[in-house]
Structure 1
Amino acid sequence: MSKKKADKRRAVIVEGVRTPFVKAFDDFIELNTIELGALTVKELLRRTELPYNEIDALYWGSVVFIGIAPNTAREIVFEAGLPNHVHGMTVTRACTTGLNAITSAVEAIERGEADVMIAGGSDSTSNAEVPLPQKLIHLAAPFVFGKAKGMSDLIELLPNLMPLQELIPRKPEIAERATGKTMGQHCEEMAQRNQISREAQDEFAVRSHKRAAKGFEEGRLRREVMTISHNGHSASIDAFVRGDTSVEKLAKLRPAFSRNGTLTAGNSTGLSDGSAAVLLMEESKARALGYTPKAAFRSWRYVGIDPHDQLLMGPAYAIPKALDAAGMTLEDVENVELHEAFAAQVLCVLKMLGSKAFAQERLGLDRAVGEFDPEIFNVYGGSVAIGHPFAATGARLALTAANNIHLDGRANSLVSICAGGAMAVAAVLEAV
């Protein structure tokens, strides 16, 4: 982990940019994760005017992969026109992926492996590949890869094609393999267990939308978001942001995951496509090139928890670990960027952070971790309003946190993300 010491290298965030997070299967359906990533990288380099030959490597996150090009990072190097010497490493760790790419790049810089790196993530749910049924693959394999070619072989195959419904491609599975439940179903259980009401969730969602809308109106988010154009369509703000929404409007929506549930499309993140990237440099290198560092990483921790016991509660475990590694308590934190998978998930995490019983029974602490000041928490909205292209969210949060430190004069910022597979990450960024 990185703590500033006079005799050690320190990686810093110099700049960052992201696409607007757009609705999946809509106007930008033809842009895949590689193309979205390349657009962001090129815009980042245009804004910073960094000579391409200064870049050592690109670390990139992806969750929804393109089967014929699994090393998304290297493909983005080619697509963006970067020099061949820029090697690419692809990272994947569910919703923490984008931040994982960044912390991996920080480690590489601080080990002395590189001086200048680009890191981030992109995903296009619109281009998720629909897998063929295993039965069809097994039946067709002898014809595609083996010796079976003749009519007699085909005749022998025909009886095995029944029933035909077993051969029809189905949409990709979104349930957790370990539990058989979707994240929405897991969150419904968490909301019930922690007594999080529908009204509280809708109020939180409205807060997220209004703060994000204000962020665009005041120009703060506009400086982070580039304009993308494709096939006559253009976008420069996130597609899901609704500054005019209200608790009354959200109350009319039906439950999304359970007939009598409290989670709806209005208080959950929507399916979205997008990309986000940051430019990282060794601090002395950044200053030598004339750049002003925005922030550095003081600590981070990744955790895994029991998938059968509140699968999305990971941040409540990761946050105290990252704070301890940074030598801090929650009272020392001046800004918080917390991923909003669902309004209920955030409210459950906040409740457990403020619970002495949870701290004692689950964390081995004497007292509760603490409570966030609403004035420093997701100041410019969160994923419920902004959207959540899986691998891009971590980079978005790191970029916003760095800007909050640099532009608002904050000493630090705490970032945390829950993830599928019952995982989470928390990181502390600090002023340089």
Structure 2
Amino acid sequence: MNFNHSIGIVAANRLPIGKINGVYQKVTPEELYQNLIQQQFENLSQLKQTDIEQVILGNVSNLGGNLARRCALQAGFKSTIPAQTIDCQCGSSLAAIIAAANLISVHDASLVCTGGVESTSTANTVLDANTQQPIKRFKMAPAGFKDLDMGIIADLTAKRMNISRKVQDQYALTSHRKAAQASLTGSLKPEMIPFQTSKLTVVQDQTVRFNSSLAALSKLKPAFSKSGTATAGNSCPINDGASSVILADTTLPLKFQGFYLGQTTIALDPEKFLFGPIKATDRLLQKFSLQLSEIGAIELNEAFAVQAILFKNYFNLTDAKLNAFGGALAFGHPYGATGGILITRLLNRINRMPRPALGIATLCVAGGMGISVLVGNKWWQN
């Protein structure tokens, strides 16, 4: 098992997730990040913002101007601290975390703030250069490849893999029930920092449906094609949010909440992007000579119920191992922040195990990619 033994996770936190044009409707991405990072450091006695050497953040919809740099400056980092923004679509903040880990591995930095931020509510409208009409989505593949909407791919994949609408709705309902239970029992408190200003306080994720039912989900119309089975109920919503993961060289005299141990990033045909987490996780297990039985918990971004079902069935996972507190079908998917949220929740789960434990965070990436990251809990022996 050739783990990376040099990178510790000092802290991993997130804000409550809001729906598009919801509680964060008038909150900029810089304000989201500022609120999260300042409170995160207030809770850290062993570290100060002035100790951080670089900031690397994921973002998708808030185009231009090196958003990470703006966020870092507004959050109070010194102007001499470099910051960079990574856009890898759904995988943006996992890609940012990997980039930060690589910096530490080659001794170009010893303390890096990473994660991501997304404000779909305040994203600018972009016009097509030829038609001057608003662009609903950017191209995910060039000429010569089919550039299908992700929802259409979900519909086609469900049909090809014979996954019924009822099975997808049942999975979505389970995700909401898990999330509701985690919210009500306080299981999310270790990972979440409330958004707090003089004008606004947000303490709960906005899109979790506490009273959802199979009957209610079954009434929803197909969202992407008339004969499709992907709906607003079994597809992830559009969201605002922020995550912050602080990575450090393990030679520093710090107390770690977990350990970054390695990753795999894979690519496949754009039309098969929903299989990205399967391919990436398979390769991750092979890379580190691990059996699935050695993994204590898995956090998968639930882009679509069909994608999550394919992953669950392929690895024959229980509800207790996969997304035990619910997933993106319930909480939502603030694109650029999601990878950091997955790492945050993964640590929340595996640190409840009073022994050394491993976890995997994984997601699919539009355009045909998959990313999986291996994490050890705070008892993991380096």
Instruction: Say yes or no: TM over 0.5.
Output: yes
Q: What percentage of aligned pairs have identical amino acids?
A: 28
Greater gyration radius: 1
How far off its partner does 1:418 sit?
0.4
The equivalent of 1:341 in structure 2 is 303
Q: Number of aligned pairs?
A: 373
> In structure 2, which of residues 13, 34, 49 is the aligned counterpart of residue 52 of structure 1?
49
The equivalent of 2:229 in structure 1 is 262
The equivalent of 2:369 in structure 1 is 423
**Whole-angstrom distance in 1 between the partners of 2:23 and 2:184:** 23
The equivalent of 1:42 in structure 2 is 38
**Whole-angstrom distance in 2 between the partners of 1:346 and 1:421:** 18
Q: Deviations over 1:372-408 (max 9, x none)?
A: 2322110111000011010111000011112222222
Spell out the pairing of 1:158-173 with structure 2 (5 A cutoff): 166-167=131-132, 169-173=133-137
Contact 1:32 1:127 in 2 (8 A): yes
Aligned-partner residue type, residue 55 of structure 1: I
How far off its partner does 1:199 sit?
1.0
Q: Deviations over 1:18-50 (max 9, x none)?
A: 111101122322222222222222121111142
> In structure 2, which of residues 242, 258, 280 is the aligned counterpart of residue 295 of structure 1?
258
How far off its partner does 1:127 sit?
2.0
Q: Deviations over 1:220-251 (max 9, x none)?
A: 21232222246844321111101221111111
**Whole-angstrom distance in 2 between the partners of 1:265 and 1:234:** 27
1:332 aligns with 2:299: no
The equivalent of 2:204 in structure 1 is 237
Distance 1:13 1:427, change over 3 A: same
The equivalent of 2:155 in structure 1 is 188
**TM-score computed with the length of structure 2 as normaliser:** 0.92
The equivalent of 2:275 in structure 1 is 313
The equivalent of 2:348 in structure 1 is 403
**Whole-angstrom distance in 2 between the partners of 1:53 and 1:375:** 40
Distance 1:47 1:231, change over 3 A: closer
The equivalent of 1:213 in structure 2 is 180
Deviation above 3 Å: which 4+ runs of structure 1? 174-178, 229-233
1:202 aligns with 2:169: yes
Contact 1:174 1:182 in 2 (8 A): no
Q: Deviations over 1:164-223 (max 9, x none)?
A: xx54x4243256344232110111001101111111111111111111111111212123
Aligned-partner residue type, residue 79 of structure 1: Q
Give SS of 2:285's match: helix
Give SS of 1:63's match: coil
**Whole-angstrom distance in 2 between the partners of 1:52 and 1:184:** 41
**Whole-angstrom distance in 2 between the partners of 1:2 and 1:16:** 24
**Whole-angstrom distance in 1 between the partners of 2:293 and 2:12:** 28
Spell out the pairing of 1:372-387 with structure 2 (5 A cutoff): 372-387=317-332
The equivalent of 2:359 in structure 1 is 413
Contact 1:268 1:342 in 2 (8 A): yes
**Whole-angstrom distance in 2 between the partners of 1:191 and 1:398:** 28
Contact 1:295 1:405 in 2 (8 A): no
How far off its partner does 1:419 sit?
1.0
How far off its partner does 1:75 sit?
1.3
Contact 1:190 1:348 in 2 (8 A): no
**Whole-angstrom distance in 1 between the partners of 2:186 and 2:13:** 14
How far off its partner does 1:110 sit?
2.0
Distance 1:231 1:256, change over 3 A: farther
Give SS of 1:376's match: coil
Q: Deviations over 1:330-386 (max 9, x none)?
A: 2221111111001111112334x2xxxxxxxxxxxxxxxx42232211011100001
**Whole-angstrom distance in 1 between the partners of 2:141 and 2:29:** 24
Contact 1:294 1:403 in 2 (8 A): no
Contact 2:141 2:270 in 1 (8 A): no
Give SS of 2:247's match: strand
Q: Which runs of 5+ in 2 are unaligned?
A: none
**Whole-angstrom distance in 2 between the partners of 1:204 and 1:228:** 30
Give SS of 1:303's match: strand
The equivalent of 2:59 in structure 1 is 62
